Amino acid sequence: MGDDAVCESGQLAKTNLLGLSRGELTDFFVTLGEKPFRAQQMLKWIHQAGVDNFDAMTNISKSLRSQLQQCAEIVAPEIVTQQDSTDGTRKWAIRVTGGSLVETVLIPSDGDRATLCVSSQVGCSLDCSFCSTGKQGFQRDLTAAEIIGQVWLAIKSYDGFNQGNRRVVTNVVMMGMGEPLLNFDNVVSAMNLMLDDFAYGLSKRRVTLSTSGVVPALDRLADVSEVSLAISLHAPNDELRDQLVPVNRRYPIAQLLASARRYIDKQSDTHRVATIEYTLIAGVNDSVAQARELALLLKDFPCKINLIPFNPFSMSDYQRPSKNAINRFWQVLVDANFVTTIRSTRGDDIDAACGQLVGQVADRTKRSERHRASYTDSEPVKFVL
Ligand code: SAH
Ligand code: SF4
């Protein structure tokens, strides 16, 4: 097949190969009349060597390279700012097509491990009462290229590709901006690349999808993915959860836990558990009585619990509980035999902690004022950066 044949296919925009999973890349090359193994070569060039220029792909013939120049591209979103915290956390503001900004955070942990917190949407429609992303309203889904592009850029930023050290990122959590299950196909494609041995080769235990509980999508996920699961619970009963996590009114706790259990039961390896995330907010969900109620609720549910002290942001009146209150809550759960961790607040000095993402950018655009106005009117909140 010559160059003309490709362009005769009526394709107007170039295909961005960055976001294509192995299956999609295989289809792409077969359409070009090429052998399927080209997909593996391309994955390695893009995701293991960090190459975004077809000319550098020395094991691909010149004629195929020039064909690719015409109908394909490898384009990552653009880093706008990079901030380093005193604790080693690094946060990037990333501009995606159309000009919106999302954030990605790399959090180093013990030894040479680091967890990358990746965004899946610009804003979020689910409007949890304690979340700054929710306060922005929903703008749009990220493409698969924009999601995996965050991993690609993070590694590039550390020069990990050049040093052959793409293991700079050892874990990925889909806990940045947005609800990943509301951007199902693109998130699944991107997670497939994270797991693919020809791309990032992460173990399924080291890729975690966090959801506030879109039950039908979680049921679908069980059919196509085996990544680790985190459930954002935040309340021990429906009455309180309805207030904090409005999607609970549609899919209450019992349905959510049943769906999470189905997900875990479907996994091929035994002893999998879900992580229950519980953001502790002073005077709202942090009492000893609520800790006991939570222990009772989760009595037979296979999980570990991660307590996240609330991270304040400018548009919220909520407060972080005292250390004592956090420890008391933790102790009740530990006494009830739950493996329970308290998330240390990282990147505080650069607003990189959970629920604070794009706080600074938002303030710069005076979005907070607009937000308040919208809320007084109880209108659905939508912002454009
Ligand atoms: N939408 C998904 C993933 C992104 S939020 C979800 O809700 O699970 C990632 C985690 O950060 C969630 O557990 C969320 O509840 C928590 N979070 C959001 N805002 C927070 C805040 N201000 N302080 C502490 N944790 C917060
Ligand atoms: Fe969306 Fe998650 Fe924030 Fe809720 S906590 S508004 S689901 S990003």
Closest of 120, 166, 124 to residue 143, by C-alpha: 120
Measured between alpha carbons, how far is 212 from 205 in angstroms, rounded to an integer? Answer: 19
Q: How confident is the model at residue 138 (pLDDT cuts 50, 70, 90)?
A: very high
Burial class (CB in 10 A: 0-12, 13-18, 19+), 100: buried
pTM, full prediction: 0.89
Q: What residue's CA is closest to ligand 2, atom 8? A: 178
Q: What is the mean pLDDT of the chain?
A: 87
Torsion of CA 89, 95, 96, 100, to 10 degrees: 110
310 lines ligand 1 (CB under 6 A): yes
Instruction: Give the CA distances from residue 311 to residues 2, 166, 282, 316, 356, in Å, rounded to whole numbers and listed in that order.
Output: 57, 31, 11, 10, 7
Give me the pLDDT at residue 150, please.
97
- The letter for the amino acid at 241 is R
Tens-place pLDDT, residues 304-329: 999 999 999 888 999 999 999 999 99
What is the number of the ligand closest to the CA of 211? 1
Q: Where is average pLDDT lowest: 61-65, 252-256, 311-315?
A: 311-315
Q: Which atom of ligand 2 is nearest to the CA of 134?
A: 6
Domains of the chain: 10-73 (1.10.150.530), 80-377 (3.20.20.70)
Measured between alpha carbons, how far is 212 from 220 in angstroms, rounded to an integer? Answer: 15
Top mutation candidate among 208, 210, 311 for ligand 1, by most atoms within 8 Å of CB: 210
Give me the pLDDT at residue 253, please.
98
Residues flanking ligand 2, CB < 6 Å: 124, 126-128, 131, 133-134, 178-179, 212, 232
Give me the pLDDT at residue 85, please.
87
Q: What residue's CA is closest to ligand 1, atom 20? A: 355
Q: What residue's CA is closest to ligand 1, atom 26? A: 355
Q: Which residues are catalytic?
A: 103, 354
130 lines ligand 1 (CB under 6 A): yes
Q: How confident is the model at residue 113 (pLDDT cuts 50, 70, 90)?
A: confident
Q: Are strands 101-108 and 15-16 parallel, antiparallel or unpaired?
A: unpaired
Is pLDDT of 184 > 70? yes
Q: How many whole angstroms from 196 Cα to the centroid of ligand 1?
A: 27
Give me the pLDDT at residue 2, please.
39
